[in-house]
Amino acid sequence: MPSLQLPHHLRANRKRLALSQEDVAFLLGSDDGGQVSKYEHFARIPALETALAYEVITKRSLAELFGGMYQDAEQKVADRARILLERTGHLSGGRAARKRETLADLAGINDKIL
C-alpha cells in the first residue's frame, strides 16, 4: 500500500522557519547547501545524526518530520510482527505471553483475540 504522506517534510519546515538551505547546512555542520537540497528533493536520506539535528533545528519529532518514511517503517514492522506472532504461537509461559502481547501490539492486533 503506498504511503499517504511524503517521505519527509524537511523543505516545508525549513521554509516555516525562514531558513535558507545554506543556513540549515551550517546548522547541520556543513557549509554546502547542496546536501540540504539533495535531502529536500528526496535524492538522499539523511544519516541518523543528521536526522536528529533536523529534529533539533525544526523542533519537530522524527516521526513528524519523516512522516511517510515513518508510516512505511510502521507498516513493515507490523507485517513482520504478525509473522513472528504466528511463529511463537506454540510457546508457553509468562515470558512467551509477554512476547505475544508485545508482538500483537506492534502488529495492531487486539490482544483479547490471543
pTM comes to: 0.81
Determine the average pLDDT of the residues in 10-39: 96
Amino acid letter, 101: E
User: The C-alpha cell of 58 is what?
Assistant: 525544526
- 80 φ/ψ angles, rounded to the nearest 5 degrees: -70, -35
Give Cα 82 distance to the centre of its chain.
19
For 27-58, write each residue's pLDDT tens digit. 999 988 999 999 999 999 999 999 999 999 99
User: The C-alpha cell of 30 is what?
Assistant: 556543513
Q: How far is residue 66's CA from residue 15's CA, in Å, rounded to a whole number? A: 16
Q: Which is nearest to 97 in space by CA: 85, 108, 79, 110?
A: 85
Taken in order of first residue, the domains within the chain and their CATH numbers are: 10-65 (1.10.260.40), 71-113 (no CATH)
